[in-house]
Structure 1
């Protein structure tokens, strides 16, 4: 039997190699989000998690919408965050109408587009 020649170390390597799951960045995930009012506008901090692989596949945008779908603000992410996961980025100067007490945050990656996940955030008014 050819596996007998592998020895204990070789057998462990073979088992470990057969258990490796191929890397797949998949959809971007919104892990957390906060909002705070600053004068007449709002500052949002959004934490994303994504298996960024480099310039060909990375989380590249998150957006803030009103519950009725009006785009209120967006943060473009200009580079991959391969070694920084999850990561948080902020956006200031977002104007929110007084009657809006909840927002919807969506995120996008450069391969899959906008993820299905919607993160609902109640504004601390």
Structure 2
């Protein structure tokens, strides 16, 4: 088990303990994750103090869970870059999930990891059709 698999598995275990929701590394679990994040971000905003909660501790666990879920569905490998991990799928698509996760946690846009998987699905189908 590599470090990203271990971090993703630990994250899924902690989510199950905290919420009773089971993140099972299927593409369907990304919709569950989106809903959970939407709820957590809303609660943080509504019940947080004047200074929003620092959610930066969730960046790498989220990157690893989303990345491992996509890797399970489509294959691929992790590449270590100076900026962090990048998931390489089909030897041509490199996904740096960190900016998307950071923007989501900063509430710059709603959680959309299930939509990311759907877009990746379409991209891979287009490439196979060529």
TM normalised by structure 2 equals 0.26
**Greater CA radius of gyration, 1 or 2?**
1
